[in-house]
């Protein structure tokens, strides 16, 4: 399939009973501030062009963010931080992401995640991560002709991504490269792939100053450069 076809197929996935129940329960009960909205309540596909040179890999949709709006990192504080930084380094057309019709365009960058449904407490189980792995694998396979760099937000995404990259033909060094903020690994394979680690843009990290806007911009800028963007 093409990437849009894969995205369409993904939105019908019901492979994880706990996540199907949660995403639908959140969509039915809603947060008071969004009571008048119709929640997406389904798997959230990757966002960005099908010929992206850079992939940004997060964790999973947020219950009242992407699970509400149907687009990655759209409509929550994590997304505010991420898109602001992407705009500042020239990877996004605007600094805000509020809903799918807001006009946001990403330049050469695709945002995705190893788990495509909102998990309770933002914590997918390893079984759920493994269930969702083929979706990420198929997405990266379709991006492979143009993909030159990946920026991973947080250790969960890092752990989930390495086996997928190995399956797609990239050689993962032994011992496995460890996640850290600012980690940078070059992987040989179909083409050389530059892998970058960055703390996740969750409020837990941004409110405490563990991840500052400058730190985020710095890694994004390096990833952008390595991707040739």
Closest approach of ligand SF4 to the CB of residue 56, in Å: 18
Distance CA 101, CA 74 (A): 11
Shortest Å distance, C-beta 60 to ligand SF4: 7
**Please, what is the minimum distance in Å from the beta carbon of residue 213 to ligand SF4?**
30
Looking at the Cβ atoms of 76 and 128, the one nearer to ligand SF4 is 128
Residue among 14 and 210 whose Cβ is closer to ligand SF4? 14
User: What are 184's two structure tokens?
Assistant: 């940078």
Shortest Cβ 11–ligand SF4 spacing (Å): 8
**36, 51, 165 from 140: Cα distances, Å:** 36, 11, 8
Q: How far is the CB of 113 from ligand SF4 (least distance, A)?
A: 9
**Is 158 within 8 Å of 179 (Cβ atoms)?**
yes
Shorter beta-carbon distance to ligand SF4: residue 21 or 191: 21
| Gyration radius of the chain's alpha carbons | 16
> Which residues, other chains included, contact 101 with Cβ-Cβ below 8 Å and sequence gap of 6+?
none
Nearer to ligand SF4, 72 or 117 (CB): 117
**Which residues contact ligand SF4 by CB under 6 A?**
10, 13-16, 19-20, 43, 115-117, 128, 131-132, 135
What CA–CA distance (Å, rounded) separates 17 from 144? 31
Q: Rank residues 41 and 79 by Cβ distance to ligand SF4 and give the closer one.
A: 41
Residue 226 CB contacts under 8 Å (≥ 6 apart), including other chains = 148, 149, 194, 196
């Amino acid at each position: 399939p093409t990437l849009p076809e894969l995205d369409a197929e993904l939105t019908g996935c019901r492979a994880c009973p706990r996540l199907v129940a949660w995403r639908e329960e959140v969509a039915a009960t809603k947060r008071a501030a969004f009571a008048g909205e119709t929640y997406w309540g389904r798997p959230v596909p990757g966002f960005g062009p099908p010929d992206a040179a850079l992939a940004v890999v997060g964790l999973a949709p947020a219950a009242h963010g992407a699970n509400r709006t149907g687009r990655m990192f759209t409509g929550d504080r994590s997304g505010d931080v991420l898109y602001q930084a992407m705009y500042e380094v020239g990877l996004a057309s605007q600094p805000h992401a509020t809903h799918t019709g807001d006009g946001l365009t990403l330049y050469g960058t695709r945002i995705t995640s190893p788990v495509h449904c909102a998990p309770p407490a933002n914590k997918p189980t390893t079984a759920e991560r493994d269930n969702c792995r083929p979706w990420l694998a198929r997405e990266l396979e379709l991006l492979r002709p143009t993909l030159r760099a990946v920026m991973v937000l947080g250790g969960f995404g890092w752990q989930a991504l390495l086996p997928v990259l190995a399956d797609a033909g990239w050689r993962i060094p032994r011992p496995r490269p460890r996640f850290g903020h600012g980690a940078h690994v070059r992987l040989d394979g179909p083409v050389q792939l530059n892998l970058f680690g960055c703390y996740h843009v969750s409020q837990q990290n941004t409110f405490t100053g563990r991840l500052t806007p400058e730190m985020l911009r710095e890694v994004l800028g390096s990833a952008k450069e390595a991707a040739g963007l």
